Structure 1
Amino acid sequence: MVDLRDGDWLDDNRANWNERVPVHLASGFYDSSPLRAAGSVLDPIVAAEIAELFPDGLDGKRVLHLQCHFGSDSLSLVNLGATVVGLDFSRPAVQEARRMAAELGVADRARFIEANIYDARHILPEPESFDLVFTTWGTIGWLPDVAEWARIVSWFVKPGGRFYFADGHPTAFVFDGDSAADGMPAFAYPYVSDEPDIIDDPGDYADDEAVLENSRTWEWMHPLGEVMAALREAGLRIDMFREHLQVPWRMYPVLVEKGSGMFGWADQQWLPLAYSLVAAHPAPDAAR
């Protein structure tokens, strides 16, 4: 049993993400100029689905962004009208998020908290208080217990509120594109495993030249069935599920640019690269 609040897995992953913060801030991958122009850096998948989910906009909506990194997407939601609480376990990331919120003049609508996600209910004791809980791209793979994650998500979603989630597809995560000479993905990780993959990789997706000193990470595979069962068992109703053939980073070397920061297959659509879902807490009268 993994200790969710302490241990090598948490120390190693936090050190890795702490070191990534200055790398990401210096890279073109995280371009903050749209935020400074009161715009959004949400990728096309997320932007379209959030607009679909809230056709009247986010004005007056209260959002909790879990595992928010340094808040670029959090501040995008603020620029779209929401009031946002962002949570991340990296102190440098949270410090940068707070700095950027102050620079943009939106600190009154963007609060950032440094915390392990598994401590969220103790750090932020506001049950059923958010219209939207939001989590996207490269999040649950760093977490050992997706059932507890789902309970935390559910605890914060108010009746009638929604949870929005987008991430790399677990079937795509069984492959490693760096291990083949032609760049095509090759089998590397099991789809079903109770054990973490402990990976020593000094590279970074946002900067091909980066060499990280804190290169050891602990990552877990969470199959689709596990994720959706965890959300349902936590009391949420799954209202939407979609698979996508593009992702907002070059998951494998063989993927090609598709525009707007997205990457996908050049010709044959070999397998889905991402998925998204919406889950809801039914309003009290809808549960009758």
Structure 2
Amino acid sequence: MTSLLQQFATAPTKAREGEILALGPWFHNLHLPDGAQTAPGHALGDFPAFKWRELAPALPHDLRGWTALDIGCNAGFYSFELAKRGAEVTGIDVEPLFLRQAEWAAREFGLADRVRFRQAQVYDLAHIGAQFDLVLFMGVFYHLRYPMLGLDIVAETVRRLLVFQTLTMPGTEVHPDTARYRSVDDRDDFLAPGWPRMAFLEHPFAGDETNWWAPNHAAVEAMLRSSGLRVTGRPAHEMYLCEPDPAAAVWPRGRGRAELLAATGCAWRAGGPPEGGA
């Protein structure tokens, strides 16, 4: 049983609680080295620690020599866990508050030399032109107004391993015959169980107006394949482990390459605007 003395020794002081509160509100409950926590009363529980416990066994324990990208890093929980395993980590997020929290926490953990944070959108990655050994793309996809574009961009940043997690529709069915040739009027299977589909969330879902999409399991796997990725594992519900599939004849690497470059503005940067353009 923990003694009262031990409890007192690890309890955060009022000043410490005030420091953490001043940086809030927090979405990540970070367990700081001195025993303090940033969001001990989180509505989801000890989040995202319970998610990490599901994912951690599926990742290499020794990440020395690996580079990692944490997309939508928030306050940096996953970034710090990867850095503790030896990775050099870049975290990106669109919210300045989260980035301030992450930079502060990096110093608290003594990891400021192994992690860096920057404000960026998923779509900005198309202009960075970098690849990372390990990419975390968790809790972001369903917030994207342009989800397939975002996934195609992310897929190009993955050198070895991608962790993909998204809000999904109920069910794990997969239609057995999506590849069969169909005429233009042969659409009944589109409504069959397990056909790849996404629910569009026009109105705020769970109080969040940026929750736009909820794909079913079949759609998640189909979209990952279409972006040139091969699903290698399912560490937990709504979580997919993937690796690049060089043999995949996917749209962004084939005739659709021009579309991806145009959608990201990279075509203009490479060769100037099309004839007649401004």
Sort the TM-score into its range (normalised by shorter chain): 0.5 to 0.7
Query: Hey, what's the Cα distance between the residues in 2 that align with 1:194 and 1:275?
Result: 15
Contact 2:169 2:217 in 1 (8 A): yes
Pair 35,149 (structure 1): closer, same or farther in 2 beyond 3 Å: farther
Aligned to 1:241: 234
Q: Which runs of 5+ in 1 are unaligned?
A: 1-20, 173-190, 203-214, 245-273
- Which one-letter code corresponds to 2:106 in the other structure? A
Q: Measure, in 2, the Cα distance between the counterparts of 1:235 and 1:277.
A: 14
1:132 aligns with 2:134: yes
Q: Kindly indicate whether residue 107 of structure 2 is the aligned counterpart of residue 102 of structure 1.
A: yes
Q: How does 1:23-102 map to 2 (within 5 A)?
A: 23-24=25-26, 30-33=29-32, 43-44=49-50, 46-54=52-60, 56-102=61-107
Cα separation, partners in 2 of 1:81 and 1:48, compared to 1, 3 Å: farther
Question: Is the contact made by 2:75 and 2:101 (CA closer than 8 Å) also made in structure 1?
Answer: yes
Aligned to 1:197: 202
Question: For 2:58 and 2:210, how far apart are their aligned partners in 1?
Answer: 35
CA distance in 1, matches of 2:220, 2:136: 15
Q: Where do 5+ consecutive residues of structure 2 fail to align?
A: 1-22, 37-46, 172-195, 248-278
Q: What code does the residue aligned with 2:212 have? A: E
CA–CA distance in structure 1, aligned partners of residues 51 and 25 of structure 2: 25
Distance (Å, rounded) in 2 between the aligned partners of 1:239 and 1:194 = 25
Say how many residue pairs are matched: 192
Q: Secondary structure at the match of 1:33?
A: coil
Secondary structure in 2 matching 1:221: strand
Structure 2: distance between partners of 1:102 and 1:120: 26
Q: If the length of structure 1 is used for normalisation, what is the TM-score?
A: 0.57
Map of 2:241 onto structure 1: 278
CA contact (8 A) 1:51 1:57 kept: no
**1:155 is aligned to 2:156:** yes
Q: 1:35 to 1:52 in 2, by over 3 A?
A: farther
Give the SS at the match of 2:79. Answer: helix
**Cα deviation, residue 171, structure 1:** 1.4
Structure 2 CA distance for partners of 1:275 and 1:36, relative to 1, 3 Å: same
Amino acid at match of 2:218: G
Could you report, residue by residue, the CA deviation over 1:102-138 in whole angstroms, capped at 9, with x for unpaired residues?
333322210111112122222x331xx31111123x3
Q: Which has the higher strand share?
A: 1
Larger radius of gyration: 2
User: TM-score under structure 2 normalisation?
Assistant: 0.59
SS across alignment from 1:153: helix
Identity among equivalent positions (%) equals 25
Deviates more, 1:82-91 or 1:230-239: 230-239
